[in-house]
């Protein structure tokens, strides 16, 4: 009922644009609420991306269209994290992922999200991470390592039971080709020469309940209605995390760890898109609850303003490389805007 009320409030506040209405908008749903066939259809579409050719000749490590999504995240890494466009760039990025699955791989559904809270104390039991053929893969094989360091090395997380290659689920045995660039997990060696170097290897995971414990309903309340909800600056800083404190963005990546714990090449883990859909869902809820702030940005154009850069504006262009049109930040504020977005969350 609460989400239904939010959807109605979103339409009342913003309204649809053209053919986009609540009735025609895609509804992004919790992975746990998808039927087995819906999960399999999504997985099949993701697998299709490995059969599609790359299109950018300048990033030689990319071997297929799945890699193109990793490549642009690597290329733009310093310009899309702790920046004024973090929320909107990633909103557009996962939209383009969803569009590619639908337009090129026959997927009929909307992008599912990962509800962090349901299995945060037992990630291996999550239908998304349990290693079944309707999951996005399970834990990695055991790999002896000394935990991980997150948030610029200021937060230590103990090792889980994995850390090695993912050997269960529909993506077991697949090869990833880009990175790691700046891995957070001990023993995960970065590519040495260039971020563009071809580096075929397995996908790695280390499911870490310690990181998932950072997901709290109190933290969600604080972001949506508490002290850190009253400006876009506070909201996005607390969503991403600050030195010494892991928040929801980092907690999702480090819950899965391995390749997901590399801020640059984290899209090598297919569950990246479910994590960022949940982050976008939180942003969507915040926008509805704070309509006077919904079209605001804060921050500069570089990672924590390093090197120093101009303040972000709503007219800044979102560079997504070969994945799609380069559109302004302001085109991403309204998920019912129809150009290009038309979706809501359940």
CB atoms within 10 A of CB 180: 24
Q: Is 92 a residue whose pLDDT tops 60?
A: yes
Q: Is 12 a residue whose pLDDT tops 80?
A: no
pLDDT digits (tens, 9 = 90+) for 176-207: 999 999 999 999 999 877 889 999 999 999 99
What residues contact residue 27 under an 8 Å CB cut-off, 6+ apart? 110, 343, 344, 345, 346
Q: What is the pLDDT of residue 73?
A: 98
pLDDT digits (tens, 9 = 90+) for 105-117: 999 999 999 999 9
- Of 286, 289, 278, whose CA–CA distance to 248 is shortest? 278
Distances, alpha carbon 105 to alpha carbons 53, 66, 136, 341, in Å: 13, 12, 17, 19
For the chain, what is the domain count? 1
Q: What is the DSSP letter of 112?
A: P
pLDDT confidence band for 39 (50 / 70 / 90):
very high
Average pLDDT over residues 253-259: 97
The DSSP line for 55-102 is: --TT-TT--SHHHHHHHHHHHTGGGSSSSTTHHHHHHHHHHHHHHHHH
Q: Where are the alpha helices (DSSP H) in the chain?
A: 2-14, 36-49, 65-75, 86-105, 209-212, 217-224, 232-240, 248-256, 272-289
Q: Is 320 helix (H, G, I), strand (E, B) or coil?
A: coil
What residues make up the domain containing 82? Answer: 2-345
pTM above 0.85, yes or no: yes
Q: How far apart, in whole angstroms, are the C-alpha atoms of residue 248 and residue 240?
A: 6
The packing angle between helices 248-256 and 232-240, to 10°, is 20
Q: Exposure of 60 by Cβ count < 10 A (0-12 exposed, 13-18 middle, 19+ buried)? A: middle
């Amino acid at each position: 009922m609460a989400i239904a009320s939010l959807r109605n409030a979103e339409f009342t506040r913003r309204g649809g644009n053209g053919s986009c209405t609540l009735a025609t908008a895609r509804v992004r749903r919790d992975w746990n609420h998808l039927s087995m066939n819906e999960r399999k259809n999504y997985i099949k579409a993701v697998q299709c991306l490995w059969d599609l050719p790359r299109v950018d000749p300048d990033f030689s490590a990319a071997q297929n269209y799945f890699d193109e999504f990793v490549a642009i995240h690597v290329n733009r890494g310093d310009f899309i994290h702790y920046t004024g466009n973090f929320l909107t760039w990633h909103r557009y990025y996962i939209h383009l992922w969803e569009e590619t699955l639908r337009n090129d791989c026959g997927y009929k559904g909307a992008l599912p999200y990962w509800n962090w809270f349901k299995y945060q104390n037992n990630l291996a039991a999550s239908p998304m991470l349990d290693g079944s053929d309707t999951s996005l893969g399970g834990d990695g094989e055991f790999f002896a390592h000394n935990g991980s360091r997150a948030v610029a090395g200021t937060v230590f997380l103990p090792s889980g039971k994995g850390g090695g290659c993912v050997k269960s689920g529909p993506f077991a045995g697949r090869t990833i080709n880009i990175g790691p660039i700046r891995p957070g997990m001990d023993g995960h060696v970065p590519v040495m020469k260039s971020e563009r170097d071809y580096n075929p290897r397995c996908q790695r995971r280390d499911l870490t309940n310690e990181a998932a414990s950072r997901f709290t309903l109190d933290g969600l309340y604080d972001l949506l209605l508490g002290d850190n909800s009253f400006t876009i600056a506070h909201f996005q800083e607390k969503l991403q995390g600050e030195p010494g404190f892991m928040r929801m963005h980092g907690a999702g990546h480090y819950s899965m760890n391995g390749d997901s714990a590399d801020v640059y090449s984290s899209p090598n883990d297919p569950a990246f898109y479910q994590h960022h859909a949940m982050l976008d869902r939180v942003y969507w809820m915040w926008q509805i609850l704070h309509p006077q702030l919904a079209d605001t940005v804060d921050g500069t154009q570089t990672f924590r303003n390093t090197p120093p850069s101009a303040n972000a504006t709503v007219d800044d262009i979102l560079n997504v490389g070969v994945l799609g049109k380069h559109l302004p930040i302001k085109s991403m504020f309204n998920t019912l805007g129809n150009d290009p977005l038309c979706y809501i969350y359940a």
